[in-house]
Amino acid sequence: MRALLLGSLALALACGHPAAQAKPSKASPHAQPSSRRDAGTPYGDSARVRELAKTLAQSHELPQTWVRQQLQQARFLKGVPKLVLPPAVPTTKNWQAYRERFIESRRIDAGAAFWQRHQDALARAEQQYGVPAEVVVGIIGVETFYGQHMGQHRLLDALTTLTLDFPAAHPRAAERQAFFQNELGQFLRLVRQQSLAIDDVRGSFAGAMGWPQFMPSSVNRFAVDFDGDGHIDLRQSPVDAIGSVAHYLRAFGWQTGMPTHYPVRFDDSRLDKATLLAPDILPSFSVATFQDKGVVLDGDAQRHSGPLALVELFNGDAPPSYVAGTENFYVVTRYNWSSYYAMAVIELGQAVKARVQAAAPTPTAHARAPADRGE
């Protein structure tokens, strides 16, 4: 889901995530008490609130009086509009620096513990949706450090602020404001369907929630009750989060058994990099076309049957890095529209998988005995 802005918003918004079936959900253990220490000026029963309530009630088929009552509780969060603005001075993209934020020992350790704790759910999700466990683990690790950083903004406040006071200085202000208005409506629908205590639902400043940082619209479309307890809870159930992430990726076209990317080399005498980079990260070229335009592929990459994209990752002042992205690489970017994000997810998942495999017990001599006896 995902439309994204910058920095941490890119990580959060990249989830325009799920809510499918619903039922009362327990309050998150990570939610702050309903004190107003982090809240700003109440919107109250203003003309803007009444007009917004009317619009959301019509567009999301909700009772207008009820919507108005909820919005009256919302408070303006002064710092949030600034967080969605592009930086005054554009930052230099640096894949290696970005990578170091996520592929580091503490996160890998936490990911290995998460994998071992939920290995049955991860295996079941892989069997049901075809998405490898390491990809699901990578996404949850990048999004929330395995549930450690799910956000403490009251979603009602954050989404109302970004609907009623989205900064006009943003280059895509109208489009982004409309996005958050829809997410606010989706959130209210979710609250009503699941009988949630609206004051307890917290998440990122951009409105993403739970272990996988799904936006409300994605919760309503893609979340699943994967732990079988009768309701969907992405805030307290990591098992629901595992199933929902796998379902999300499958819904966006994940193909079982397909790699996400391949290494590349260049034949500079034939290289037509401008043509190859023109579609950005959308897979658009056959293997034959790739090779005709100067990309050297080895091994399994030469036998790949689907389209490829040349993915360019800048490294600050150092030369860029390149990979050949497959359709599955593109699917990961549907979670967050960033090739840097996708590579971080993939490499974190691979690192966690390697850590888990290294910690697994080796076969005993007794288990190997038949082969040793030549049977």
pLDDT at 6: 35
For 318, the 3-state DSSP assignment is: strand
Condensed to tens digits (0 to 9), the pLDDT of residues 222-252 reads 999 999 999 999 999 999 999 999 999 999 9
Residue 95 in contact with residue 314, Cβ under 8 Å?
yes
pLDDT at 44: 96
Condensed to tens digits (0 to 9), the pLDDT of residues 132-182 reads 999 999 999 999 999 999 999 999 999 999 999 999 999 999 999 999 999
Q: Which residues pair with 94 in a beta bridge?
A: 315
| Percentage of residues in the chain having pLDDT higher than 90 | 83
Distance between the two ends of the chain, CA-based, in angstroms?
54
Chain centroid to CA 194: how far? 22
pLDDT of 205 > 80? The answer is yes
Q: Which of 126, 134, 143, 183 is catalytic?
A: 143
Residue 263 in contact with residue 252, Cβ under 8 Å?
no
pLDDT at 361: 82
Condensed to tens digits (0 to 9), the pLDDT of residues 289-300 reads 999 999 999 999
Please give the Cα distance from 145 to 177 (Å, whole number).
28
- The residue with greater pLDDT, 367 or 305, is 305
pLDDT at 358: 94
pLDDT of 190 > 80? The answer is yes
pLDDT of 107 > 70? The answer is yes
Domains and CATH numbers, the chain: 7-251 (1.10.8.350), 261-325 (no CATH)
143 is catalytic: yes
Label residues 34-67 b or e (16+ Cβ within 10 Å = b): eeeeebeeebeeeeebeebbeebbeebebeeeeb
Residue 323 in contact with residue 266, Cβ under 8 Å?
no
Any residues with CB less than 8 A from the CB of 240 and at least 6 apart, and which? 223, 224, 225, 226, 227, 232, 233, 234
Phi-psi region of 267 (alpha: psi -120 to 50; beta: other; left: phi over 0): beta
Report residue 24's pLDDT band, with 50, 70 and 90 as the boundaries. very low
**Whole-Å CA distances, 206 to 35, 73, 198:** 20, 18, 16
Condensed to tens digits (0 to 9), the pLDDT of residues 48-99 reads 999 999 999 999 999 999 999 999 999 999 999 999 998 888 788 999 999 9
Condensed to tens digits (0 to 9), the pLDDT of residues 266-276 reads 999 999 999 99
pLDDT at 90: 78
pLDDT at 2: 42
